[in-house]
Every structure is written in C-alpha cells, then in structure tokens.
Amino acid sequence: MNLDKLKHQESGNFFLMAGPCAIEGEEIALRIAERIVSITDKLQIPYIFKGSFKKANRSRIDSFTGIGDEKALRILEKVGKEFDVPTVTDIHESTDAEMAAAYVDVLQIPAFLCRQTDLLVAAARTGKFVNVKKGQFLSAGSMKFAVDKIKESGNENVILTDRGNTFGYQDLIVDFRGIPEMREFNVPVVMDCTHSLQQPNQSSGVTGGKPALIETIAKAAIAVGTDGLFIETHPDPKNAKSDGANMLHLDLLEDLMTKLVKVRKAII
Amino acid sequence: MNLDKLKHQESGNFFLMAGPCAIEGEEIALRIAERIVSITDKLQIPYIFKGSFKKANRSRIDSFTGIGDEKALRILEKVGKEFDVPTVTDIHESTDAEMAAAYVDVLQIPAFLCRQTDLLVAAARTGKFVNVKKGQFLSAGSMKFAVDKIKESGNENVILTDRGNTFGYQDLIVDFRGIPEMREFNVPVVMDCTHSLQQPNQSSGVTGGKPALIETIAKAAIAVGTDGLFIETHPDPKNAKSDGANMLHLDLLEDLMTKLVKVRKAII
Amino acid sequence: MNLDKLKHQESGNFFLMAGPCAIEGEEIALRIAERIVSITDKLQIPYIFKGSFKKANRSRIDSFTGIGDEKALRILEKVGKEFDVPTVTDIHESTDAEMAAAYVDVLQIPAFLCRQTDLLVAAARTGKFVNVKKGQFLSAGSMKFAVDKIKESGNENVILTDRGNTFGYQDLIVDFRGIPEMREFNVPVVMDCTHSLQQPNQSSGVTGGKPALIETIAKAAIAVGTDGLFIETHPDPKNAKSDGANMLHLDLLEDLMTKLVKVRKAII
Amino acid sequence: MNLDKLKHQESGNFFLMAGPCAIEGEEIALRIAERIVSITDKLQIPYIFKGSFKKANRSRIDSFTGIGDEKALRILEKVGKEFDVPTVTDIHESTDAEMAAAYVDVLQIPAFLCRQTDLLVAAARTGKFVNVKKGQFLSAGSMKFAVDKIKESGNENVILTDRGNTFGYQDLIVDFRGIPEMREFNVPVVMDCTHSLQQPNQSSGVTGGKPALIETIAKAAIAVGTDGLFIETHPDPKNAKSDGANMLHLDLLEDLMTKLVKVRKAII
C-alpha cells in the first residue's frame, strides 16, 4: 500500500489493523499500541493502529459511546506520532469525515453504512485511505460499487474489509469465496477476525462473540491470500467499554501472529 | 395512532403509507397523491403520503439521488396541505432530522441505519412520529432497542416497519412470526410490501424485484394482524427514477386495497 | 382433489391434514380423530387423518421411534374406516412404500428425503396420493423436479407441502412467495403450520418450537391462497412421544379453524 | 485412523478422499486411481479412492444414476485391490449398507440423509468406517448426535465431513468455525471441497458450481486443522456423467496437493 508510515511492507507479510474497540483513554491506548508495535516490529508485520473515537451504533442507548470526539481523536494522533505508525478510525456521518481526517491516516466505513453514498464520498474527498467494511447483507461482488464510489470521487486508496455475512438471526458466517473475488478489484482485502465472530440479536441487547475462534478465522484468511487482518485486542477484554465479548486478549497476540506468519510464508 | 391528520382511523382498517419511491417533481407527486387519496377515502383507509426527498444509499454512484432536498421537501409539504394528509419521508444523517421535520409529519429511518443511535435520537427530538424500518440483519425482538432509544429520548410516537430479512445473497424473506412479536412493544407495526420483495446483490448493481407478489405479502401481513402497509406505487414504474423493479403500478392499487379490506374484516 | 373419501370438497374451504405426530396407540389415535372429525364436519372442512407409523429421523438415537410398524399402520387403517376419512403417513425408504400403501390413502415424503429419486418413484408406483414436503434447503421452484419425478412414474396425484426454509442454525422461515409459485405446478399446496415453527439445532438434541405462532402461520397461509393446512395436534402435547414442542393443543383446534374459515371466505 | 490399508499416515499430512463423482466404468476408474495414487505416493498423502456406485438424489429423474449397482461396486473393489488403497462409496437406504460393505472400506452417508437413524445404524453394524456428511441444514454441534448413533451401535470408526451450509437458495457457505467444533468429538473431520462449492436451486435443475474456488476452500480447511479433504476429480469434468460443474480437473490435482502440503506443514 501507498501509505508512507506503513513499515515492513517489503517483508511480504500480511498487514495488521489492530487496537482496542473504542479509545477509552490515553494511557491505555498508548500501552496497547506499544505492545502491538513491539510484536509487529519483531515479526516484521506492517501495522496500523485502530481505535474508534465514538461508538455510534450500539444496540442499546445506555451502552458506552465514547470519551468525547476530539479528545479521542487527539489520542489517536498521539499514538500515531509516538510510535510512528498510521492510524485508523471509523466515521458515521459525512460531517465526521473531515474532522477525523485531521487526525488519522485511514477512515473506516462501518458495515451497516457501506451503501451510504454521501458518507463514502465525504471520506473519499479527504484524500485519506478509505477502508470500507462489507455489509453483512452484501455479496463480495457488490462491494465493487463501493470501490467505484470512492474511486469516482478521485481517491484511489481503497481497502475492503470482510466481517462476515448475516446467517440467520444469531450468527455470522465468513464466506471465504469472497476474498479472491474482492481481491480482483485491485484493492487490499482485510479479514476482520473479531467482528466476524459476533453473535448478533442476543436477547440481552449486548452482542455476543466467540473469541476462541479468532485463530480459526485468521488462519483461514491468511491461507486464502487475504492481504491484511483486522483484530480488536485489549489487555482486559472483560472490562473493556465495548465489544468485550469478542476481542482478543492482548497477551495472546504475539503467539497468534507468529503462527500466522508461518502460514503466510507457506502460501507465497 | 395519535396523528391528527390521519383520517378514517375509526374504520378499523389497516393504515397505508404509500407514494412514489422518490419525489421526482411536483406535478407527478400531486397526481399520485390525488389518486391514492381518492381510493383510500372511498375505502376508508387511513392514509399517509410517502416520498423520499433524496436517495442516499443507492448501489451505484450514478443512480438518481434526487431533485434537490428543499425542493422535494416543499413538494411533500404541498401534498400534505393540498390533500390534508400526513406525509412521511426518510432521513439519513442527524442533520436531516430537523430540516425534514419542518415539512413532514413522520420521519422514517432506513433499515440499514436502524442501529445509528445519533440518527434515532435526532429524529426523536423533533417530536415527529418516527418510523423505524427493521434492519434486514435484525430480529424482530432486537427492534425493542430501537423503540427504547426513541422513547428514552422523550418521544412516544414510534412505528416499526418490516421489510424482510437477508436470505442468502439474492433474496429477502419476510418472517411473519416477527409481526406479533413487534406488536407486543405497543407500537403500530407496518409491512413494507414492496421493498421486502427486493432481490439484492444483482450483478448489474440495480436491485431487482418481484412486484407480482406484492398481493401475496400484503394479504399475509393483513391476515396476521399488521397495523399498516407500506407500498411504493407509481403510474409508470418502468420509467420511475428509482426502485422501478418493485413498485406497484398505481392502476392496481384500488383492486388490491379492496381485497385487503375484505381480509382485514375477516380477522377483526 | 380426486380423493374419494375426502368429504366437504364442495364447500370451497381449504383442506386439513391433522393428527398426532406419531401413532402412539389405538385409543388415543381414535380419540384425536373423533375430535377433529367432529370439528371439520361442523365447519365443512375436508379432512385427512395424519399419523407417523415410525419416526426415522430423530436427532437422538434414544428418541421414541414408534410402537411397531404394522401395529401403527393397522391403527391408521382403523381410524380411516371408523370415521370414513382418508389417512396419510410418512415413509422413509423405498421398501416402506408398498407396505404403507396397503393401509393408507396418502404417502408422505419427509422434507430431508424429497430429492431421493428411488423413494419418490416407489411411492408414485403404489398409485396412492404422494405428498412431498419441500426440503428446508430447496426453493419452491425446485419442487417442480419432485412433481415431475412422480408424474413421470405414472402418478398424477401429487401434493406439495411447505415446512419452511433453513434460516441460520436455529430458525426456519416460511417464504410465502413460494405458495403461488408451487400452485403454478397445478398441484394442491399445503402449509405445514407446526413443523415450520421448529427451532432446529438446539444443544439438547431435542428440536424446539413456537406453538403460539401456529395461528400466525396458518392465517398467512390461508390469506395467500394455500389449498390445505398440515397441523400436528395432541390432547396433551407436553406428554406426547415426539414433537411435543410444536404441536397444537387439540382444545385450540376448533377456535383456530373457525377463524381460518373466515379468512378463507374473504379471499375466494 | 485405524484403517490398515491407509498408507503414509506417519507423514503427518492430511488424508485425501478423491475420485470421480460416479463410477462410470472400469477403465476410467482405474485411470483416475492410478493418477491419484501416483501423486499421493509422491507427496506422502494417505489416500482413499472415492466413487459413487449409484446416484440416488439427482434433481431430475432424467439425470444419470449409474451403470448398475453390483457392476460399480466390483469396480470399486478392483481399484482397491489393484492399487492397495481403501475405498469409499455412499449409500442411500439401509439395504445398501451390507451390500456395499462387501466391496468397500468406508461407507458414506449423504448430507441429506445424515439424520436417518435406520441408515446410520445399518452402516454402523457393518463394522466398516462410516463417513457422515454434515447436513447443509445442521450445525456442527448437531453432528454429535450422528456420531453417537454410530458409536452406540458398536462402531467407533466415524468420520465427519463438512460440505457447507444452506445460505439462501443459490449458495452454500462453509462455516469454518465448525471444524474445530467437530474435531472435539474425537473423530477425523474432512472438508468436502467440491460439493461445498455447489450452487443449488438453479432453474435448469442441474446444480451449478465454482471449481475455480476449490483451492480457496482447501487452503482454508487445511489452515484451520481439518484432518482430511474430499475432492471429486475427473480427467474431463465437462463430459462427466454427474457433478461436472464442480469437479476438479485431474490435471490440477498435483499442483493443488503440493500447495496444501506446504500449508499443512506450516500449522503442525
């Protein structure tokens, strides 16, 4: 990818977008970043720090939504500078695009919003990389139209991320046939290994998850040629402010990455 | 419903939200409204005129998106005044809520956006009725959280509309078990008889449809106790600016309503 | 239908296939039949008594499978004679066809087996009516090939029954669009109102159900023009030997049928 | 696996079940076997020759169903002896079990039939290995009950094979989360890389397929720890008597196996 700050691209490894679900505070963001940078430097994995500056689509109105937009964005900026890594955050309305673009390197479009033309165009016009998550209701083939919306707005830097398909009410299933199909659009394709394990529509209003299977999804993704992985990770998932049910414990990341680098080497 | 302009509520009939997909111009909007008002007055069906002031989530960037926001909203207002009927339009970002609320009686939240808290809260705060479409990826039970978000924002006037569930890549299926489930939330429940027949993910990037089956969906909906129907209709669907593949031809509306009133009478 | 014993066909009503899931014993079979015959005579509903002579596809090996094939078939025959009604039972292997045909009027092919050519042909060759349940994995359109297999074996007396589609792991959803599609094959189409409410893949190995929704499925089915209904019913569902989770309590049948006859009258 | 004829088990490689869909004739069966044996000996992959002695569940009655049961079974036996490899064939009714067991080493239960207790028990009682395909409508967890039915019939030699889940009408999707889940039942788990790419419910009545994606499914399967692969292959898929749409061209097998052995080595 033509993203200057992204190191280790010559290694031939997949790249990693990882971090906590939400930016909960400066200290913890820096701590998570430091740990991941240390692992990815050691394994020569290109790394982008991920954190949401607000959570706008929680099931319940009483869910945590954030610590304040600008406060969170400044933390993202600080992480980027401190560790010299690119950063990514997700936006939800057109007005977010320019604001977030002042602080991060990659703007991410949530899956539910991947058909919102205004949002895609606003993101594209910032000139930043745009990472569009595939709607759970969309085929891989249909993501071509999302790519086109961004490219026709004058921005060639598109990334597509798969996070599974709606399968009945309580499951998502990743259709790995979609990875080679989306790679044909000549954009990097990422597997979101944590959200694709969500279990939606739980009666509690809190989405469930199956973090023990992150390794399964990640290995399959790397084996089929996925360019990057998206993994939410936290040093204490149970007490995380959002998505605790499916984040990877940060202590497990190095072992997982080590295994995945081996699989990557076997296919290139 | 506590919606003053809504006539014929004493008839015991279901209510109807109907109109063209998009507001294409004043003359055609008035013509469609006149025809539907004449039919619903005759059959004593409470009626709300529907029209989108912009289309924000088309598959392709070159699809028609509208004639201009304010121009379209003024037409909606004019239809409401000229025929003394309430009107509904859909909004896509928080900033749309107040703008649209100045012209229409019901704000509609598109299915893809039904989890966007900011949008629901912005709609709720206008004090207008809020019609939330059930996400194709959500269970009926999960719509309770959408109802709560609006009620907890101080607005009791919520409507829920079913438009089918994601079923594989190319089909939607209506789960009629969800109608009694959503009616237990003490809100009127509507069946969207046209969008629930969409066939998404077509390779052309233009969503397909099965308008011949509108009668099937509508009859089943009325038989199971649905409070209202949502039907997009046009005097010339083939040349409509959007969703032509699944709108009902306006000439078929009276016959369909006549049949449905008979089914309604059989269940009350 | 060209089924001599089927009374009340001139009434214009839908027909009913109903009875317990499994034949548990003579006394209870006769008691159930007597009650249903009394209701259907009163309401002029053509009626076929249903009972399985064995249950061959239970989830668990320790589930009840039957009281003995011939014993159960003799009870079916006795019910038919005592109440002068046709009877139906399901078969699972080709060798069952001729055996069962000696006792009943309609042979039923379970949904999982609707693609087994040998079984369909064996059933067809008995000359009895053949009721094929639509596979949960098949589209309505694909049932044309099942109809053809039977007709090409020289038997024109085919019935198709819908019992829902696989929707994720734990739900079935009825696609009511399939009813008019299957009726175009010029065969009577039946809605199985009890099995379509099953909840498969429960961790206990015992399929769940939602009997409170039988009325919802039945009303929708009648409203869209379904020719017949299939309903499993029992005077004591909780203590039934199989499928207790989704049978209708026999005490509720008359009220349900009365409502459905009203809906039927509204659409013809 | 405790299957004597299965060579190369010490290599640590996955095992392979492969061959033509149907036994079309002796010459072609021997030719296919020879080729695959040569490849698997070279790469030290344990190999089981696969061929159906009849095709009992084709969509259309005019589809090819076989060359005669005993004739086909004798060819399977000859292949086994000539190349000293175990063989597998699928059975459809209880009466097939003993007949087929006289000629082959592994009896396979088709996915549609995986809940038929009589069939599973009949297969189990032959003492042969029983390979049960996971129903497209069943969760991985539910396959525990199939394993139990066989083990409780006194046979410990069970294999489970995944061939995808029903995903709407025209697609199957493999849920790779199911592989580790089924491996916990302490049985070898196989991925059927060709049938899981089928596209059912095509209007022609001939199931479609996506053979270009066999490598994608196979790599993902190996990466997540699947014990074996099932691949239908033919020297001339377009002219094969059945399932031509999704068989792997035999000329592509060696290259595919070479890649997969590399992935296997990366995960053990």
Which tens digit of pLDDT belongs to each residue from B91-121?
A: 999 999 999 999 999 999 999 999 999 999 9
Structural domain contains residue C5: no
Q: How confident is the model at residue A200 (pLDDT cuts 50, 70, 90)?
A: very high
What percent of chain A is predicted at pLDDT more than 70? Answer: 99
Q: What is the mean pLDDT of residues D79-96?
A: 97
Q: Is D253 left (phi over 0), alpha (psi -120 to 50) or beta?
A: alpha
Q: What is the mean pLDDT of residues A23-32?
A: 96
Cβ distance B213 to C180 less than 8 Å, yes or no, reads yes
Count of Cβ atoms closer than 10 Å to residue C19 Cβ: 30
Whether B209 has a pLDDT exceeding 70, the answer reads no
pLDDT at position A57 is 72
Collapsing DSSP states into helix, strand and coil, what is residue D123? helix
Task: Show which subunits contact A, needing at least 3 CB pairs below 8 angstroms.
Answer: B, C, D
Structural domain contains residue D1: no
* Sole residue written with tokens 């996400």: B135
Cβ distance B267 to C265 less than 8 Å, yes or no, reads no
Whether A175 has a pLDDT exceeding 80, the answer reads yes
- DSSP-assigned beta bridge partners for residue D256: none
Cβ distance B112 to A117 less than 8 Å, yes or no, reads no
pLDDT at position A158 is 98
pLDDT at position A251 is 96
What is the average pLDDT score of chain D? 94
Structure-token pair, residue A61: 């109105």
Across B136-140, B152-156, B196-200, C78-82, least confident range: B196-200
What percent of chain D is predicted at pLDDT more than 70? Answer: 99
Whether A71 has a pLDDT exceeding 80, the answer reads yes
Range of the domain at D138: 9-267
Structural domain contains residue C77: yes
Q: What is the mean pLDDT of residues D61-70?
A: 83
List all residues 6 or more positions away from C252 whose beta carbon is below 8 Å from its beta carbon. Answer: none
Q: What is the mean pLDDT of residues D136-147?
A: 97
pLDDT at position B1 is 83
To 5 degrees, how large is the angle CA D251–CA D253–CA D258?
A: 130
Cβ distance D169 to B171 less than 8 Å, yes or no, reads yes
Facing D57 at nearest CB: one of C94, C116, C166: C116
Q: How confident is the model at residue A89 (pLDDT cuts 50, 70, 90)?
A: very high
Mutate to test the interface with A, among C165, C169, C171, C202 (most CBs of A within 10 A): C169
Nearest CA in chain C to A200: C168
pLDDT at position A209 is 66
Facing B116 at nearest CB: one of A56, A139, A144: A56
What is the average pLDDT score of chain A? 94
Structural domain contains residue A2: no
To 5 degrees, how large is the angle CA D170–CA D176–CA D178?
A: 105
Cβ distance D92 to C56 less than 8 Å, yes or no, reads no
Q: How confident is the model at residue D198 (pLDDT cuts 50, 70, 90)?
A: very high
Identify residues of D whose CB sits under 8 angstroms from chain C CBs: 56-61, 65, 92-95, 112-113, 115-118, 121, 135-139, 141-142, 144-145, 148-149, 152-153, 165-166, 169, 200-201, 203, 205
In terms of pLDDT, which residue wins out, B249 or B242? Answer: B249
Amino acid at B203: S
Q: Are strands C106-109 and B158-162 parallel, antiparallel or unpaired?
A: unpaired
What's the domain count of chain B? 1
Encode C3-52 in three state secondary structure: CCCCCCHHHCCCEEEEECCECCCHHHHHHHHHHHHHHHHHHCCCEEEECE
Q: Residue D216: list chain A partners with CB under 8 A.
A: 176-177, 179-180, 224
- Burial string for D220-258 (b: 16+ CB within 10 Å, else e) reads bbbbbbbbbbbbbbbeebeebbbbbbbbbebeebbebbe
Q: Residue B137: list chain D partners with CB under 8 A.
A: none
Whether A217 has a pLDDT exceeding 90, the answer reads yes
Q: Are strands B171-173 and B165-167 parallel, antiparallel or unpaired?
A: antiparallel
Cβ distance A263 to D220 less than 8 Å, yes or no, reads no
Helix H or strand E encompassing D172? strand D171-173
Query: What is the C-alpha to C-alpha distance for residues A212 and C104, in angstroms, rounded to an integer?
Result: 52
Of A160, A162, A163, A164, nearest to A149 (Cα)? A160
Cβ distance B142 to A116 less than 8 Å, yes or no, reads no
pLDDT at position D209 is 65
pLDDT at position D131 is 98
Nearest CA in chain D to B171: D168
Measured distance between the N- and C-terminal CA atoms of chain A, rounded to whole angstroms = 17
Q: Are D226 and D188 in contact (CB under 8 A)?
A: no
pLDDT at position B4 is 87
CATH number of domain containing C57: 3.20.20.70
Cβ distance B169 to D169 less than 8 Å, yes or no, reads no
Task: Show which subunits contact B, needing at least 3 CB pairs below 8 angstroms.
Answer: A, C, D
Structural domain contains residue D260: yes
Across B140-149, C167-176, C246-255, D51-60, least confident range: D51-60
In terms of pLDDT, which residue wins out, C64 or A71? Answer: A71
Nearest C-alpha of chain A: how many angstroms from B231?
22
Structural domain contains residue B77: yes
Across B146-155, B243-252, C238-247, D68-77, least confident range: C238-247
Query: What is the C-alpha to C-alpha distance for residues A20 and B99, in angstroms, rounded to an integer?
Result: 36
Q: Residue B167: list chain D partners with CB under 8 A.
A: 168-169
Cβ distance A170 to C169 less than 8 Å, yes or no, reads yes
pLDDT at position D56 is 74
Whether C58 has a pLDDT exceeding 80, the answer reads no
Q: For residue A39, what are the CA distances in angstroms to A259, B48, B181, C98?
A: 13, 59, 49, 70
Q: How confident is the model at residue D65 (pLDDT cuts 50, 70, 90)?
A: confident
Nearest C-alpha of chain D: how many angstroms from B136?
14
Q: Residue B185: list chain A partners with CB under 8 A.
A: none
Q: What is the mean pLDDT of residues D190-205?
A: 90
Collapsing DSSP states into helix, strand and coil, what is residue C189? strand
Facing D169 at nearest CB: one of C60, C92, C139: C139
Identify residues of B whose CB sits under 8 angstroms from chain C CBs: 165, 167, 171, 173-177, 179-180, 197, 210, 213, 216-217, 219-224, 259, 262-263, 265-267
Structure-token pair, residue A33: 């970043």
DSSP alpha helix (H) spans, chain B = 26-43, 69-83, 94-101, 117-125, 143-151, 178-183, 214-223, 253-267
Whether C209 has a pLDDT exceeding 70, the answer reads no
pLDDT at position A56 is 74
Nearest CA in chain B to A178: B169
Whether B252 has a pLDDT exceeding 70, the answer reads yes
What is the average pLDDT score of chain C? 94
In terms of pLDDT, which residue wins out, C126 or B242? Answer: C126
